Amino acid sequence: MPIYAIIVKDLKLLVRDPGGLLMLFVLPALFIAVLSVSLRGAFSSSEDDSRLEILLVDEDDGDAGKLYREGLAAAGYFDVVETVDGDAVDAARAGTLVEGGRYRIAIVVPDRADEALALQHAAEIRMIVDPALSQELALAIENSVANLAYAGTISALLLQGRDAGDAEEAAELLEWNGLRVALEAVDRGGGDALPNSVQQNVPGWTIFAMFWIAQILALSIINERTSGAFTRLLVAPISLLHYAVGKLVPYLIVNLVQTALMFAIGVYLLPLLGCPRLEIANVPGLALLTVCVSLVALGFGFLMSSLSRTSLLAASVSASALVVMSVVGGIMVPKLVMPEMMQTASWFVPQGWALEGYLDLLVRGRSVSDILPHAGVLLGFALLSFIVAAWRMSRMRREG
């Protein structure tokens, strides 16, 4: 069969270049290992966090607000801010400011908090947290806020326990009354769970590796075109569709092997280097998404080959485009730390959709049905690339 012959030919060509084939696996594996280890503490507390600005909203305007104003400032790690641009801030605006990235955390002291400190009423302190803030740091601040609440209630608890003459009754008062702390992470459109360094880098650089093979595919097609092999193939009883399928299968196989290796590194190797283990719970979802990403990458390779007259032009343009798309798509720079404009731009490149799909599966525990929109958009990118490439190749065929 013609398709089988093309598949065998391209597989043989790939095997004949073991150095190039090896680099398709070694380079992304090195990126994953080095960056996952290096960025383990990228969002951890550091000297830059020692004077973290905390936006304080005091809806009680009493002793509870004073407790947190003075207590947080006395800790020496926080700058307490109560006005923004000269105006007092309410809870709604505080949430907007955190969501926009201007502040990383806001604490809202509720109305009747004074009564809660006296164990006469139940109230809840809200902590609104930027999703880019380290989980460890957010939990540390949560503990500080809770400890201030306990410190404010301890005297009233002891008094009520002494009057009741029953320590169990005092414990019940603490259980059902007093201030509690609720930690809230604002959602910037990517879910409410934060990836760790392994969950970010393994799928990210796997996507990068899958797309990089598009350059090799493009150069293979251009070499066939310049050598006359492409013309001879199309003169034979074989359609452009058969040619495309024959070219796709070998590179699709390479992409699948790449993905299996990269994810195996996250599961087995990175824990040996002190990184979190990559937990994989939805293999069908990962398989579906990987095939879709691979088709987009290979469609991009066909597109580059159809738009470029020479190998040099295809190599330079495709390499530049892949790097730019990887940056915009959140692979080289995590999307959560990007400004809002760049986060929006990430939805216009396939890498952005691919990475969010992987994070939905690996971090947020989503199902196959949840990532179908991502798969559909990726297939749309692939289809568009193949249509444009087929139109360009048909013109080349007619022009001889």
- Tens digits of residue pLDDT in 223-278: 877 776 666 665 666 677 777 788 888 889 989 999 999 999 999 998 888 888 99
Residue 220 has pLDDT above 60, yes or no: yes
Residue 298 has pLDDT above 50, yes or no: yes
Phi-psi region of 388 (alpha: psi -120 to 50; beta: other; left: phi over 0): alpha
Class of residue 162 by CB neighbours under 10 A (exposed 0-12, middle 13-18, buried 19+): exposed
Read off the pTM.
0.61
The token pair at 64 is 């509870």
Domain-ending residue, one of 185, 203, 232: 185
- Is the domain of 268 the same as that of 305? yes
- pLDDT for res 189: 47
- pLDDT for res 28: 74
Strand partners, 108: 57, 126
Burial 37-73 (b: 16+ CB within 10 A, else e): eebbeebebeeebeebebbbbbbbebebbebbbebbe
- Is the domain of 150 the same as that of 106? yes
* pLDDT, averaged across the chain: 79
For the domain that residue 66 is a member of, what is the CATH number?
Answer: 3.40.1710
Measured in whole angstroms, the distance separating CA 131 from the mean position of its chain's CA atoms is: 11
- Is the domain of 142 the same as that of 17? no
What total number of domains does the chain contain?
A: 2
* Residue that wins the pLDDT comparison between 17 and 265: 265
- Is the domain of 68 the same as that of 205? no
79-88, 106-115, 121-130, 335-344: which range is least confident on average?
335-344
- pLDDT for res 242: 75
Strand partners, 311: none
Domain-ending residue, one of 185, 213, 237: 185
Residue 377 has pLDDT above 90, yes or no: yes
- Is the domain of 262 the same as that of 353? yes
- Is the domain of 291 the same as that of 395? yes
Mean pLDDT is highest, among 31-40, 120-129, 191-200, for 120-129
- pLDDT for res 53: 85
- Residue 175 pLDDT class (50, 70, 90 cuts): low
Domain-ending residue, one of 123, 154, 185: 185
Share of the chain above pLDDT 70, in %: 74
Provide the residue range defining the domain that includes 94.
Answer: 47-185
- Is the domain of 127 the same as that of 241? no
* Contact in structure between 169 and 161 (CB atoms under 8 Å): yes
Rounded CA-CA distance 367/30 in Å is 30
- Is the domain of 259 the same as that of 347? yes
- Is the domain of 241 the same as that of 373? yes
Task: Count the neighbouring beta carbons within 10 Å of the beta carbon of residue 78.
Answer: 21
- Is the domain of 269 the same as that of 171? no
- Helix 372-399 with 350-362: angle, nearest 10 deg: 150
Start-end of H helices in the chain: 2-15, 18-38, 63-74, 91-99, 113-117, 135-164, 167-176, 197-227, 229-235, 240-264, 283-307, 311-328, 340-345, 350-362, 372-399
- Is the domain of 206 the same as that of 322? yes
CA distances in angstroms from 142 to 79, 281, 295, listed in the order given: 16, 30, 45
Residue 393 has pLDDT above 50, yes or no: yes
- Is the domain of 289 the same as that of 254? yes
Residue 121 has pLDDT above 50, yes or no: yes
207-211, 245-249, 377-381: which range is least confident on average?
245-249
- pLDDT for res 60: 81
